[in-house]
Amino acid sequence: MLFLKRKNGIISALIIYVDVMVVTDNDIDEMLKLKTHLASKFDMKNLGGLKFFLDIEAIMSVQGIFLSQ
């Protein structure tokens, strides 16, 4: 499932597949608020930056996110 929120130029994305969740945002403070809210409702672990999701490698750079299978 993909959930998107757009408000005042801030875009938040929440991707959920079975027991894996990916949270991303174009505003760090908004992303931290979302993670804090979700952690207050659900038992969660922060596994750090996205490296793999559904056997797809995610490579972060200043130009964007590159996906490789």
Residue 7's pLDDT is what?
92
Structure confidence by residue, pLDDT tens digits, 15-58: 999 988 899 888 889 989 999 999 999 999 888 888 998 889 99
Work out the pLDDT band at 61, boundaries 50, 70, 90.
confident
Given a cut of 90, whether residue 6 has pLDDT beyond it is yes
How many domains is the chain built from?
1
Cα→Cα distances 10→19, 27, 33, 57, Å: 26, 6, 13, 25
Residue type, 62: V
- Cα distance between residue 40 and residue 37, in whole Å: 5
Given a cut of 90, whether residue 2 has pLDDT beyond it is yes
Residues forming beta bridges with residue 4, ordered by sequence position: 13
- Cα distance between residue 22 and residue 2, in whole Å: 10
Range of the domain at 55: 2-68
Residue 5's pLDDT is what?
93
